[in-house]
């Protein structure tokens, strides 16, 4: 081979080969001396196997890369061939690669990794501006000089971005483990590929290990295309930095940072938050585009299960009116948004000239059966896997509900109460969207603010810093994409500027403008209510400031606030919401502290009958068992119809529902063990020691087992509720008496094609405490039947 002869001779063209300093699958690297300029250089001998087309393409690309000049790029001095051997000549950097440095000593802190990555991103941005994509960014392609400065090298497989040219589609170039999903598919080179690789590289520096460990290259490429990469938990990585890394690693290019510069800006802001300016996203709105794409792949806002159950009952009634159904829908933020979005699509455009801006009109268009189907399609808040996220969403929903209710109370002489409610509700759309679809960014915003009661201006500034776009603009962009009527789109934009001070300043505000100011005032009053500890004076000050623009007396504003708070208390009870003591949402339903000395006759709060300020908000009532069971049954039926849940998820839904609705001590699921003569074994347990308890369940259905109640009932497919276990003690198997021995229990066999494939067992701690009415028992059996139906479909 040509390179072997050169090695033996110690020369390549005019260069003197000194020693080999690196080798890979595509090249060997030598330290060499250039006698013409009397300097040491690094020479890469390319392995192209005599492919003349590949040789010409590689040299052409290398010559293009040689024009790159940047302090963080190792420059290419020459690109040529000698006696059939192609080679590249680089500046020699006498330092280790990042891969070598990480092996010898991991980075000491997250700030060190981010600082190093900033230099790498500056190099990538310089290359991208010249139309060059690296395509093989990895630790071994980054050199660390004696000054610690990272130097990106090996643009040997880099490619130029040519507008309108498809590129080397189908040709996979790069290193598995750092390749973006689209690069692993052989897509044409684009800067987003390098952004992903930078995210993978930063994640490796932060966690101390590569995100993808896979020795088989083909499998590594497949996993790169099919799996979402996650930065492992690490105490040195806070949620804000984690969110930045995860956005860089988004599988869809459109959901990543739009450029190396954008990723650099967020990392710089994380590293130096006190000096980073707030800069609006100049693209229009990469965040908005990212959000809209995510919304296409994720479900709508999650709904409250009790709200969905009530809506199902009203929608199925033959006597309830549109007004009754509208009232129920307005109690749930998720269904309100989805309904208005639906009725403003092209399907309804012929009958909704100008758009539909009220729920009552939407109900009339969609019809009761359409509402039932829509409610079934919503994910339930209680079944979200991330309970902390669900709790935060619950707060945002309760707050938005209060804002809408208060705006409706403040608008007796202006727009209709429903229009005021929706206008104010949608002023919080940007906040709600961010909280649900971008939870990590929402957490970053809250951490920047440090309080739930920050001013609207501070909240917008924080959103700009984290998202590159304010909440108002984000909500308005989504509302436009949804096709909401122009009046509602304008109403959701919060008015800016100083509040007018002249008495009667709001008298000339009509239509949409009045809706906008109603929303701003309602939001400000609700912020004062949740400030905690509850303080009537805070509401008084806000009411005084907003009285001129609302055209209302301060007393009238406070009375409207009282009434709205009572309506919220009622809604919280109806919906069965448990709001933690001390939480911002709970403060909305608690009475403000009013010093007795500060009260005067006739002032709200002076006496209990004077208004709700003196009322103690009752605790939310527990949701009835049948309501919980009905909601879960609806969700299970919808999931089976739409095939949106696998069997494991369905089993967890059913067991968790039974455990909560019936206040059970233990619930155990037994399933048939393959190849064991039909034996049933415990697979899943809820309750104290549920895992250990489920392991005790091992028996084989047997119609002749007179002294084994479990085996007998499963063989016969019979349900049984035992109020007092002492009455059947002689028929309880020994394993049950030794390991479980509950005083009251329920057995629900799972029968498919006449054979027992499982059993649901449930118990309580006191004799006679497990009591089911006819309605509840029917719902429990219906839930069990959904499980057997799911198993039957899988064969």
Beta partners for residue 748, in sequence order:
760
Quick check: 160 and 131 in contact, CB under 8 A? yes
Neighbour tally for 475: CB within 10 Å: 24
DSSP state at residue 435: H
- Beta-carbon neighbour count of residue 504 at 10 Å? 11
Q: Which residues contact 689 (CB under 8 A, 6 or more apart)?
A: none
3-class SS string, 657-717: HHHHHCCCCEEEEEEECCCCCCCEEEEEEECCCHHHHHHCCEECCCCCCCCCHHHHHHHHC
Q: What is the DSSP letter of 288?
A: H
What separation, in Å, do the N-terminal and C-terminal C-alpha atoms of the chain show? Answer: 61
- Taking the C-alpha atoms of residue 389 and residue 301, their distance in angstroms, rounded to an integer, is 12
Selection from 94, 146, 137, 89 nearest residue 117 by Cα: 137
Q: How many Å apart are CA 442 and CA 449, to the nearest integer?
A: 11
Quick check: 471 and 460 in contact, CB under 8 A? yes
Which stretches does DSSP call E strand in 599-743?
A: 666-672, 680-686, 698-699, 720-722
Kindly list the catalytic residues.
136
Size of the chain, expressed as the number of residues it contains: 795
Q: For residue 598, with 0-12 CB atoms within 10 Å meaning exposed, 13-18 middle and 19 or more buried, which class applies?
A: exposed
Measure the CA–CA gap between 143 and 137, rounded to whole angstroms. 12
**Residue 531 neighbours by CB under 8 Å, 6+ apart:** 453, 538, 587
- DSSP assignment letter at 198: H
- Structure token digits, residue 452: 């739930």
What interhelical angle do 554-575 and 511-529 show, nearest 10?
Answer: 70
Torsion on CA atoms 780, 783, 789, 794, rounded to nearest 10? -120
Tokens, residue 605: 């709060």
- Count the alpha carbons within 13 Å of 466 in the hemisphere toward its beta carbon: 28
Instruction: Write the CA distances from 139 to 244, 326, 371, 404, integer angstroms.
Output: 20, 59, 55, 53
Cα–Cα distance, 154 to 62 (Å, whole number): 10
Is the omega angle on the peptide bond into residue 533 within 30 degrees of 0, that is, cis? yes
């Amino acid at each position: 081979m040509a390179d072997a002869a050169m090695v033996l001779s110690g020369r390549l063209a005019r260069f003197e080969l000194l020693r080999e300093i690196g080798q890979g699958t595509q090249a060997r690297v030598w330290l060499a001396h250039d006698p013409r300029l009397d300097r040491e250089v690094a020479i890469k001998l390319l392995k192209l196997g005599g492919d003349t087309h590949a040789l010409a393409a590689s040299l052409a690309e290398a010559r293009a890369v040689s024009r790159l000049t940047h302090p963080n790029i190792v420059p290419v001095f020459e690109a040529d061939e000698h006696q059939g051997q192609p080679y590249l000549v680089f500046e020699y950097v006498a330092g280790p690669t990042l891969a070598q440095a990480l092996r010898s000593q991991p980075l000491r802190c997250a700030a060190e990794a981010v600082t190093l990555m900033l230099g790498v991103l500056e190099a990538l941005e310089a290359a991208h501006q010249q139309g060059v994509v690296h395509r093989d960014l990895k630790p071994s392609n980054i050199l660390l000089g004696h000054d610690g400065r990272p130097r990106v090298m090996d643009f040997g497989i880099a490619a130029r971005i040519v507008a309108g040219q498809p590129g080397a589609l189908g040709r996979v170039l790069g290193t598995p483990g750092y390749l973006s999903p689209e690069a692993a598919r052989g897509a044409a080179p684009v800067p987003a590929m390098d952004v992903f690789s930078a995210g993978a590289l930063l994640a490796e520096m932060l966690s101390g290990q590569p995100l993808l460990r896979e020795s088989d290259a083909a499998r590594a490429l497949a996993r790169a295309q099919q799996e979402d990469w996650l930065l492992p938990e690490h105490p040195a990585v806070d949620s804000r930095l984690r969110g930045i890394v995860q956005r860089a690693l988004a599988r869809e290019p459109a959901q990543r940072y739009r450029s190396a510069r954008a990723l650099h800006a967020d990392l710089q802001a994380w590293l130096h938050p006190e000096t980073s300016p707030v800069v609006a996203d100049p693209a229009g709105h990469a965040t908005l585009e990212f959000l809209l794409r995510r919304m296409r792949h994720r479900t709508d806002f999650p709904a409250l299960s009790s709200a969905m159950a009530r809506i199902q009952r009203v929608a199925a009634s033959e006597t309830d009116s549109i007004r009754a159904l509208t009232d129920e829908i307005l109690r749930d933020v998720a269904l309100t948004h989805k309904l208005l979005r639906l009725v403003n699509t092209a399907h309804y455009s012929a009958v909704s000239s100008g758009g539909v801006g009220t729920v009552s009109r939407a109900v009339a268009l969609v019809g009761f059966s359409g509402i039932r189907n829509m409610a079934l399609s919503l994910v339930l808040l209680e079944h979200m896997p991330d309970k902390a996220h669900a709790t935060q969403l619950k707060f945002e929903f309760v707050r938005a509900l209060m804002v809408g209710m208060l705006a409706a109370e403040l608008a007796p002489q202006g727009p209709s109460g429903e229009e005021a409610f929706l206008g104010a509700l949608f002023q919080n759309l940007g906040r709600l969207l961010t909280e649900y679809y971008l939870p990590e960014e929402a957490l970053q915003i809250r951490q920047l603010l440090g309080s739930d009661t920050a001013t609207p201006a501070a909240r917008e500034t924080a959103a700009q810093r984290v998202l590159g776009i304010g909440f108002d603009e984000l909500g308005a962009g989504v509302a436009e994409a949804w096709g909401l009527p122009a009046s509602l789109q304008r109403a959701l934009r919060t008015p800016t500027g100083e509040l007018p001070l002249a008495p009667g300043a709001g008298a000339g505000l009509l239509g949409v403008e009045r809706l906008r100011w109603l929303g701003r005032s309602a939001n400000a009053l609700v912020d004062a209510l949740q400030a905690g500890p509850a303080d009537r004076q805070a509401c008084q000050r806000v009411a005084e400031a907003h009285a001129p623009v609302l055209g209302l007396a301060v007393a009238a504003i406070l009375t409207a606030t009282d009434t709205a708070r009572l309506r919220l208390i009622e809604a919280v009870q109806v919906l069965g919401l448990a709001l933690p003591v001390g939480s911002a949402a709970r403060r909305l339903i608690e009475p403000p502290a009013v010093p007795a000395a500060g009260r005067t006759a006739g002032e709200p709060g002076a006496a209990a009958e004077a208004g709700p300020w003196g009322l103690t908000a009752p605790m939310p009532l527990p949701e009835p068992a049948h309501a919980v069971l009905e909601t879960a049954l609806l969700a299970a039926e919808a999931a089976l119809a739409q095939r949106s849940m696998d069997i494991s998820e369905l089993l967890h839904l059913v067991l968790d529902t039974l455990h909560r609705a019936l206040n059970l001590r233990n619930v155990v699921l037994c399933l048939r063990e393959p190849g064991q003569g039909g034996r049933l074994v415990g697979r899943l347990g809820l309750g104290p020691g549920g895992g250990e308890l489920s392991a005790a369940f091992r028996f084989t259905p047997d119609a002749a087992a007179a002294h084994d109640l479990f085996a007998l009932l499963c063989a016969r497919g019979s349900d049984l509720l035992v109020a007092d276990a002492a009455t059947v003690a002689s028929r309880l198997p020994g394993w049950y008496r030794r390991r479980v021995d509950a005083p009251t229990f329920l057995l629900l066999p799972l029968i498919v094609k006449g054979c027992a494939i499982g059993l649901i067992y449930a118990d309580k701690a006191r004799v006679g405490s497990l009591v089911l009415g006819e309605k509840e028992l029917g719902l429990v059996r219906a839930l069990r039947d959904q499980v057997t139906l799911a198993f039957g479909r899988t064969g």
